[in-house]
């Protein structure tokens, strides 16, 4: 993989201008909801998660509702997001832990939130930033991982190592925006199946552009 870190600032400036208001496309109105929605978003589109949570959040309105949920009912409620058994188990158990260990409040530190089942650093970063306004790192999902490699920002495949590489390149105040911006660019332009290099604003600076063009 070509080391293209020298062009990070130029690429970031260009791509940020394309998505000046990049934000999660998940719908939520409080910290508990962004936690649940982010857990559901694993291997599922945000659009589908939003369809599910539009109904789900009317049925389960509090952390107690999720903690006391009938697991079979919860599985049915989130079935269409995929991996519904694990997700239902993690959501219910997380709610119980939040009640017992955190006074019914979603934790606001990386150390604490990582104690919740089903919550790794990607989910933790999203919930902390969007739910609490606390920026501890960079959320690395499949889009961020793929684009970081294609753009030559990292040689790593492990999300934790990629996160560290990106944190070393970007200013802390840009960490959250960087993740959201790369996600949007990955969905709209640098799509996995056939990247649209011809309309990409950073194609001239991308070491992978010729590999992707047919």
Catalytically active residues are 122, 141
CB 71 within 8 A of CB 79: no
Among residues 85, 84, 207, 214, which one has the least CA distance to residue 153? 207
**Token pair for residue 51?**
């369809």
Taking the mean position of all CA atoms in its chain, how far away is CA 11? 21
Distance from C-alpha of 137 to C-alpha of 122, rounded to nearest angstrom: 9
CB 26 within 8 A of CB 40: no
Provide the token pair at 83.
Answer: 């991996």
**Those residues with Cβ within 8 angstroms of residue 100's Cβ, 6 or more apart along the chain or in another chain:** none
């Amino acid at each position: 993989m070509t080391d293209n870190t020298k062009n990070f600032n130029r690429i970031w400036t260009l791509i940020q201008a394309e998505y000046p208001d990049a934000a999660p496309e998940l719908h939520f109105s409080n910290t508990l909801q962004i936690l649940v929605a982010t857990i559901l978003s694993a291997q599922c589109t945000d659009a589908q998660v939003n369809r599910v949570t539009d109904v789900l959040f009317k049925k389960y309105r509090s952390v107690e509702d999720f903690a006391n949920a009938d697991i079979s009912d919860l599985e049915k409620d989130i079935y269409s997001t995929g991996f519904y058994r694990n997700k239902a188990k993690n959501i219910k158990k997380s709610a119980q832990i939040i009640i017992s260990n955190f006074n019914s409040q979603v934790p606001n530190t990386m150390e604490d939130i990582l104690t919740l089942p089903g919550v790794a650093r990607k989910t933790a970063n999203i919930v902390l930033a969007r739910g609490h306004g606390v920026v501890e790192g960079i959320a690395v999902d499949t889009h961020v991982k793929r684009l970081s490699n294609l753009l030559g920002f990292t040689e790593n495949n492990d999300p934790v190592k990629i996160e560290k590489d990106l944190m070393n390149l970007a200013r802390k105040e840009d960490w959250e925006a960087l993740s959201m911006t790369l996600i949007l660019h990955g969905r709209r332009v640098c799509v996995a199946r056939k990247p649209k290099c011809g309309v990409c604003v950073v194609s001239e600076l991308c070491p992978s552009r010729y590999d992707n063009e047919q």
